[in-house]
Amino acid sequence: MKLIHIVGRKNHGKTTLIVELVRELTRQGIAVGTIKHSSHAHELDAPGKDSYRHRQAGASPAAIVTEQLIGLYLPRRAEADPYALLAPLFAHCGIVLVEGDLDGRGAKVEVWRKSAGGECLASARRDIRCVVTDDPLDPHFPVLPRSDVRALSRHLLTLV
């Protein structure tokens, strides 16, 4: 999988940027997949629902299929690489944008807004390839303008 992690502190615009990038990249004819990473442990299914009960009984994988969507539940051991498990489902994608997972494998691009507070993560981490912002920033690392999603999309394709 060709992973690009869109990282940054809370409320700096990761989700908004990913939505804009997906629109731009698909407009260019590129198949884009997305993964939302959460560092919190929480249930994704509704306790008591049929799919939840199937999983609790030991089904693995367990899926829910509707006319418009398929939800697939795969158990994950802490040491298992989730991206390896998901790779077959994203094989057709030219790029996969991951929201978060600062320690995951793949290139990392930080979204930073001065008004949202907090230091830029790239100032302390060497694995962040560039920072996306329209705010003035110390130029010790590559900075791309947040306002130019088309240029940013072209740059992301060079990172995979």
Q: Provide mean pLDDT across the span 45-71.
A: 88
Residue 154 pLDDT exceeds 80: yes
Domain membership flag for residue 46: no
> Domain containing 120: what range?
3-38+81-159
Domain membership flag for residue 129: yes
Residue 44 pLDDT exceeds 80: no
* Residue 86: how many other CB atoms lie within 10 Å: 16
> What per-residue confidence (pLDDT) applies to 42?
67
pLDDT: is 9 or 141 the higher one? Answer: 9
Domain membership flag for residue 49: no
Domain membership flag for residue 145: yes
Domain membership flag for residue 71: no
Predicted TM-score (pTM) of the model is 0.90
Residue 80 pLDDT exceeds 90: no
DSSP string for residues in 120-141: -GGGT-SSEEEEE-SS---SSS
Domain membership flag for residue 56: no
| CATH number of 89's domain | 3.40.50.300
Provide the domain count of the chain: 1
> What per-residue confidence (pLDDT) applies to 120?
93
Compute the mean pLDDT over every residue in the chain, rounded to the nearest whole number.
91
Q: How many helices (H) and strands (E) does the chain have?
A: 4, 8
- Kindly report the backbone phi and psi dihedral angles of residue 68, in degrees, each rounded to the nearest multiple of 5, phi listed first: -115, -20
Contacts of 75 by beta carbon, 8 Å cutoff, 6+ apart = 55, 60, 61
| Confidence class for position 40, pLDDT limits 50, 70, 90 | low
